[in-house]
Structure 1
Amino acid sequence: MTPAARISAAVEVLDDIESRRRPAAEALKDWGLSHRFAGSKDRAAIASLVYDALRRKASAAWIMGENTPRAVMLSMLRLQRGMDAGAIAALCSGERFAPEPLSDGERANLAAASLKGAPAHVAGDFPEWIAPSLEGLLGEDLVPEMQALATRAPLDLRVNTLKVSSREEAHDALPHLGAVETPHSPLGLRIAPSEDGRGPAVQAEPEFIKGWFEIQDEGSQLAALLSAVKPGEQVVDLCAGGGGKTLALAAMMENHGQIYATDGDTRRLAPIHDRLSRAGVRNVQVRTPRGGADPVSDLDGRIDCVLVDAPCTGVGTWRRNPDAKWRLRPGSLEVRRKEQATVLDRAAALVKPGGRIVYITCSILPEENDEALEGLLQRAPGFETVKAEALLASAGLSNLSTVVRLTKHGIQLTPGTTGTDGFFVAALKRRS
């Protein structure tokens, strides 16, 4: 496919996403199935165009003065990919499979391409209704932080110390990937996004198959490290999902002690078994819920650390899932807040005196973070917040204090300050 034909295809996919209000991955998959002539490189290039357009949807529409898939796509080429109006016009020839020629108005808007005077939600490319929440957290950094959340994310790897002696050993085994050490996590390697947005097939690497590393954003790595779990402890990963943080905890505990991994959605647990085996993990019991029974009811009051990687809106992952931001509604936030209250209450019952809850979200909305913890502290007065300085020190991460945002109850990571996804981490200790 020619570059022009790829743009036409991406506009078609955007139209499908818009008209049917469906996830981008589904629309791209269906397009590929109905256009089997498109090769893997074509499909990857079209996906990259679609995701870049979704990242800049609001600002692209502002520049063009309309919100059609064509307008957003053309404007994205100017904003995100740095093409000038002449280069875009050359692609829009109207010839076979190419977009129709630019109108005079489109050419003028692309030539000007100014966001001067644009409101914050346009300049930062996020839904207007969450602006008040974000302003409270980010203040004057609102627009630059949200612009950082609209960029492409790198591919981060976590080195598995159960299989590899050091990060340097893993790095030296993968010179062809061009990885560099992550700035904050002592276990991370980072691969920058390519020009077309495609990443290397790291899961095909022999070292991945041998369990030397896992794909995990540096923010998620730091969240696991901030749990400060130690060998010999009793730990529950209450929302384990596919097991990314479970694996990190097991390595921190050097396979000593016990981790009980469970999740309210049994389908999310499916990948964890193969991942545990590949990583060489031996101290994890997977507790799969059956018949509505509580799979960890026998552990109440016995646990040193309960990790709550809470269900949330995923606002902090918008670099990777840009279509999700335009599907977010107030109703979905309220659903997540109720789920967070439920899982926090369950965690509180598991913790023994002197034990702790480590609460994590991949969100930057205070409603899901500080406010969720405020609710638990009111319902369970036997708990108290662990001060951020102590939380960082216990994990050996005191150097993070200069780059993270310290909130009332926890620590907020953001792309603009830490270069990670938007993770919130806090710890609550049960009084003895």
Structure 2
Amino acid sequence: MTPSAQISAVIELLLTIQNQRHAPADATANRFFRQRRYIGGGDRRYVSAQIWEIMRHHRKLQWWLKRIGSQINPRMMVATFLMLSGKTLKEVNNLFSGERYAPLSLTQNEGLFLQSLEGQELFYKEMPKAVFYEIPDWVYPLFQQQFGENIDAELSALLEPASLDLRVNILKEERNNAKEMLKQEGISSEKMPLSPWGLRVEGRQSVTSTDLFKNGIIEIQDEGSQLIALMTGVTSQMRVLDFCAGAGGKTLAMAMMMQNKGQIIASDVHNVRINSAEKRFRRAGVFNVQTHLFAEGAKWIKRRVKTFDRVLVDAPCSGTGTWRRNPDARLKFKAIDLEELVAKQADILDSASKMVKEGGRLIYATCSLLQKENQDQIEFFLKAHPEFKLVCPDTPEKLLPDEFYKNPSFQLTPAQYKTDGFFCAVLERS
């Protein structure tokens, strides 16, 4: 593709994402490229990189377009991004040439609007803080209250691209060996500082096409998510319930900790996720897991009340801790969404707690940075369930850094730990 054709594809994909606002941007992008097989690998990487940068700076681009009096549309969003990324008006004019496969030529007004951006930068001191940090206006005070004087560092880290985190499946291979095997496939990685199973890859790499991934030796999983599995402290003698298993990432990690022994039940309300999880279990060589489609009052639930040593609740949440990976989610998050999620989390915690046996543990986790979904949720639960108390985690081996054994809960942030934002609390039924 010519540079102009690449820019046309960027504009077309941005328009598609905006028109399908209820679908995740990455899923929309995947469909877009599947329907256009003629776009080669290099061009696909360029278009993807431009789209994610535009999505990562969406509010700032809108702010600039309003400032110069322009219409806000995908075409001008892309042109403005190019100008604020250092291109001259002449270079942008050449890209918007109107020739075959190129965007239509800039109109006189568009050219005048863009000319006013020459010499300007994407980040501008007069921007409101919520615009500067690409978060909804109503969310900024919540972060301000939570992070205090550290807010700039925390929100700056949330703007940065995320690394690619991998978990080595030690049922099949040791971490050092997997690291060397990745290197042989042209992918350099570093051992994670916190997770004993983790490898970190910088940049966007196609690990799903490697033999290691296809053979279940590695899984894509953020380091914070791996730590939550560790916080459960599961052993091979336990009966474990992953209450909101989703596609089974933490189930896989716990099965590995249990050495494929004991029993794990992975449940979820979505059959598609359960089916996806089962494929991952087979690929990883995991066979101590049963799956169940969750339905309140189902017979299998009634028969297992107060029978589990560990119950993990990876609750549905705002996903604010994953905004580095999902920049489009920032634009869709509404205050009513938070209120509905908080109520749903409380209901899920209440249901899951009934499955924990005496002396067993309930582990609550979110990929959120918001106190309402995390610390406040646990405080509310403990008031309603005095039979539970917060306890520090323990594991058969010392797999976690010391700091994680000293507290019954933790809050991970990209600024502090280079992970996604995660919260985790460990509770025990007395």
**Same fold by TM-score greater than 0.5:** yes
Q: 1:394 to 1:172 in 2, by over 3 A?
A: closer
Contact persistence 1:250–1:281 (CA under 8 A): yes
Residue number in structure 2 paired with 1:187: 197
Q: Matches of 2:54 and 2:394 in 1, distance apart?
A: 39
Alignment of 1:391-402 (within 5 A): 396-399=399-402
Q: Identity over the aligned pairs, expressed in percent? A: 37
Residue number in structure 2 paired with 1:17: 17
Alignment of 1:330-349 (within 5 A): 330-349=335-354
Write the letter of the residue equivalent to 1:48.
A
Q: Point out where structure 2 has 5 or more consecutive residues left out of the alignment.
A: none
Q: 1:19 to 1:211 in 2, by over 3 A?
A: closer
Q: Given the alignment of the two structures, is residue 129 of structure 1 paired with residue 134 of structure 2, yes or no?
A: no
Match of 2:97 among 88, 94, 97: 94
Residue number in structure 2 paired with 1:45: 46
Q: Given the alignment of the two structures, is residue 329 of structure 1 paired with residue 328 of structure 2, yes or no?
A: no
Alignment of 1:4-403 (within 5 A): 4-19=4-19, 21-23=21-23, 24-25=25-26, 27-28=28-29, 31-32=32-33, 37-64=38-65, 65=67, 67-77=72-82, 82-85=85-88, 89=92, 91-96=94-99, 97-98=102-103, 100-101=105-106, 103-113=111-121, 114-164=123-173, 166-175=174-183, 176-193=186-203, 198-200=204-206, 202-289=207-294, 293=298, 295-387=300-392, 396-399=399-402
Q: Matches of 1:173 and 1:20 in 2, distance apart?
A: 39
Shift of 1:392: 9.5
Write the letter of the residue equivalent to 2:223.
E
CA-to-partner distance for each residue in 1:329-372, whole Å, 9 max, x for gaps? 12222222222112101121111122111111111111111122
Contact persistence 1:289–1:295 (CA under 8 A): no
**Structure 1 counterpart SS, 2:309:** strand
Cα RMSD of the aligned pairs, angstroms, is: 2.8
Shift of 1:116: 0.8
Q: Matches of 1:78 and 1:189 in 2, distance apart?
A: 37
Write the letter of the residue equivalent to 2:13.
V
Q: 1:365 to 1:11 in 2, by over 3 A?
A: same
Q: 1:294 to 1:3 in 2, by over 3 A?
A: farther
Q: 1:26 to 1:185 in 2, by over 3 A?
A: closer
Q: 1:29 to 1:394 in 2, by over 3 A?
A: closer
Q: 1:295 to 1:103 in 2, by over 3 A?
A: farther
Q: Matches of 1:291 and 1:384 in 2, distance apart?
A: 25
Shift of 1:377: 1.1
Q: 1:19 to 1:308 in 2, by over 3 A?
A: same
CA-to-partner distance for each residue in 1:275-310, whole Å, 9 max, x for gaps? 212212232122234797254322211211110011
Q: 1:377 to 1:237 in 2, by over 3 A?
A: same
**Structure 1 counterpart SS, 2:138:** helix
Out of 135-144 and 303-312, give the one that drifted further: 135-144
Contact persistence 2:356–2:362 (CA under 8 A): yes
Q: Matches of 1:393 and 1:263 in 2, distance apart?
A: 28
Shift of 1:391: 6.5
CA-to-partner distance for each residue in 1:232-286, whole Å, 9 max, x for gaps? 1121100111111001001111122211111122221111222212212232122
Out of 147-156 and 169-178, give the one that drifted further: 147-156
**Structure 2 counterpart SS, 1:319:** coil
Q: Matches of 2:151 and 2:79 in 1, distance apart?
A: 26
Contact persistence 2:4–2:97 (CA under 8 A): no
